[in-house]
Structure 1
Amino acid sequence: MRSSNPVFSRRGFSRDNGAYAGFDVQHQQAGANPYATNPYATDPATGMPQAPARVDAMTMDDVVSRTAMTLGTVILTATLAWIALPVDPANIGKSYGIAIGAALVAMVLALVQAFKRKASPALILGYAAFEGVFLGVISAATSTYLGAGVVIQAVLGTMCVFAAVLFAYKMRWIRVNRRFYGFVMAAAMGFILLMAANLLFSVFAGGDGLGFRSGGLGILFGIIGVILGAAFLALDFKQVEDGIAYGAPREEAWLAAFGLTLTLVWIYLEMLRLFQILSGDD
């Protein structure tokens, strides 16, 4: 994960010629941004486009509409899964099995898209659909055992994080540069490795493994996970801003939507786990 999500690992729209964001090795060696060096890039001296904007360039409307479609698919399938896969003692095994299967399919589709050079709307929407099934079952289980309030809190928390980061980014309180990118990537790698180790210990030793997802440590790592998600949102916003500024192809809007969806799903899951712990479900 070389950017806020794998989908941007080979695509950088940075104004500093890719100093912070994921260019492939060829572009790094050339020291050039594939969009910053095209005839539609802005003139660094005047800040004005060097040539008229091309018709098929990505716009903010494109990003918003694609993101709405992707998140809408997540919400729709999550709602259907919540209704069709009740989580109760008689069906919990079946529901959890379907949720795990959906999560695995979503992960495979996300990885396939991440390593493709071009956006595939079918893959992205397919990922959103299966991810929604997983989230629907997990949310339904949380609502059944802890009450719907926990799910509502997680949703509102995710929305608040998104709004706060967007406001801070627009106000330039968050400066996305090489140092910011490097710190976030290092922190994310450490976080993921710790969570993977905790999962392995829980599988082989039982319980909560190393205890990183329960009790006081669970609360601490839940907060860290939310903060990392917020940092990834800032990286996503930077990618979108630079893509529009440098006249990225319109198809890149699907990748922006994909990246934002990945990040928001991460934040929601961290929020959900955090509120589960705070509600007394260790």
Structure 2
Amino acid sequence: MKTSNPVLSRLGQAAERERAAGYGQAPGQPGYGQPGYGQPAYGAPYPTATGGYPASPPAVRPMTVDDVVVKTVTLLGITGISAVAAWNLIPASATGAAWIGAALVGLVLGLVISFMRVANPALVVTYAVVEGVFVGMVSKFFESFYSGIVMQAVVATFGVFFLMAVLYRARVIRATPKFTRAIISIMAGLFAVMLINFVLALFGVNTGLRDNGAIGIIFSLVCIVVASLSFILNFNEVEEGVRMGLPQRYSWTAAFGILVGLIWLYLEVLRLLSFLQGDD
């Protein structure tokens, strides 16, 4: 299971360890009955259950594209419900605290999930809830200044997402090894710049990177382009994960990646729209 994508490599290795530990595959799936895939060697008897009856080999159903779609829709629904609840239930006096608290908790959860070697549905769902609070507070803030901006940002975000899906499906944009390395490197660079900008802002240093000016608009446009292209990596991860026969629960990891991209794109679109409306 070799791939140029580090995420897939990590998940593929975890899946191999599961098989080596005794997790088999369902009959009819690739690798079923083959030595080294959680099955006995040819000619060796299966272990027997109590009473001497043959025990069925443990089965792990591989994930499918439908699994990822269902998990992604589920996470989006949870995030949306959490955002609406936060918007309506958290008082204005606690908006700042909820905004910052949710952002920090979401960052920690996101890093934990990203570096875990095993998919954890509970953590992914918790992340969706926390990010829903964060998105709800940010959206409420922008909507208070620019009426209708939230709906515009939502429509634009999903419009870009489906456009990237069509381009990937048509193979107009492909996740080649060079493309993958470039996007991952640029994303890492952007997050580093945003983190440095945040730290500088705490000490009263304004770089203009997130202000309504030429620098801020250009930076937001760059982020939007990179966030959009990151979906190509997500789609490729799903496609390759299905091909590699990763266990079904890894669909949560794939859905998590898509959710992160959608939230990032939404926030950048929201910020850019505020810049453009602020010029009127």
TM > 0.5 fold call: yes
User: Does residue 119 of the first structure (1) align with residue 80 of the second (2)?
Assistant: no
Quick one: which amino acid aligns to residue 179 of structure 1?
K
Match of 1:19 in 2: 4
Structure 1: gaps of 5 or more residues: 1-12, 28-32, 41-48
Q: Which has the higher contact order (CA 8 A, sep 6+)?
A: 1
Q: RMSD between aligned alpha carbons?
A: 2.7
Shift of 1:190: 2.1
TM-score, with structure 2 as normaliser = 0.79
1:191 and 1:158 map into 2 onto residues whose CA distance is 19
Contact map agreement 1:150 1:275 (CA 8 A) in 2: yes
CA distance in structure 2 between the aligned counterparts of 1:233 and 1:70, rounded to whole angstroms: 16
Q: Determine which of 71, 76, 79 is the counterpart of 1:66.
A: 71
**1:250 equivalent in structure 2:** 248
Deviations 1:151-179 (A, max 9, x none): 11111111011011000000000111111
Match of 2:224 among 218, 223, 226: 226
Residues 182, 131 of structure 1: alpha-carbon distance in 2 compared, 3 angstrom cutoff: same
Paired positions, count: 244
Larger radius of gyration: 2
Give how far 1:189 is off.
2.2
Give percent identity, aligned residues only: 35
Aligned to 2:208: 211
| CA deviations over 1:128-171 (Å, ceiling 9, x no partner) | 00110011011011111221x21111111110110110000000
Structure 2: gaps of 5 or more residues: 34-58
Say if 2:60 and 2:247, in contact at 8 Å, map to a contact too. Answer: no
SS at match of 2:3: coil
CA offset digits 1:204-262 (Å, max 9, x no partner) = 125xx211112111111111111111111100000001111221100111111111111
Range 75-84 or range 95-104, more displaced: 95-104
Q: Is the CA contact 2:60–2:248 (under 8 Å) kept in the aligned structure 1?
A: no
Shift of 1:125: 0.6
Q: Is residue 2:187 matched to residue 1:202? A: no
1:240 aligned partner: 238
Could you say if the C-alpha distance between residues 161 and 125 of structure 1 is closer, same or farther in structure 2, counting changes exceeding 3 Å? same
SS in 1 for 2:278: coil
Whether contact under 8 Å (1:77, 1:129) holds in the other structure is yes
The residue type equivalent to 1:210 in the other structure is T
* Counterpart residue number, 1:183: 182
Q: From the superposition, tell whether residues 255 and 50 of structure 1 become closer, same or farther in structure 2 (CA, over 3 Å).
A: closer
> Is the Cα–Cα contact under 8 Å of residues 86 and 140 in structure 1 kept in the other structure?
no
CA–CA distance in 2 between the matches of 1:132 and 1:246? 32
Question: How big is each residue's C-alpha offset from its partner over 1:11-40, in whole Å with a ceiling of 9 and x where there is no partner?
Answer: xx7xxx21244335x96xxxxx959x9998
CA contact (8 A) 1:162 1:233 kept: yes
Per the alignment, residue 154 of structure 1 pairs with: 153
Q: Which runs of 4+ in 1 moved over 3 A?
A: 37-40, 49-55
2:142–2:150 contact (8 Å) kept in structure 1: yes
Query: For the residues of structure 2 that align with 1:50 and 1:121, how far apart are their CA atoms?
Result: 25
State how far apart, in whole Å, the 2-side matches of 1:18 and 1:167 are: 23
Q: Give 1:212's aligned amino acid.
A: L
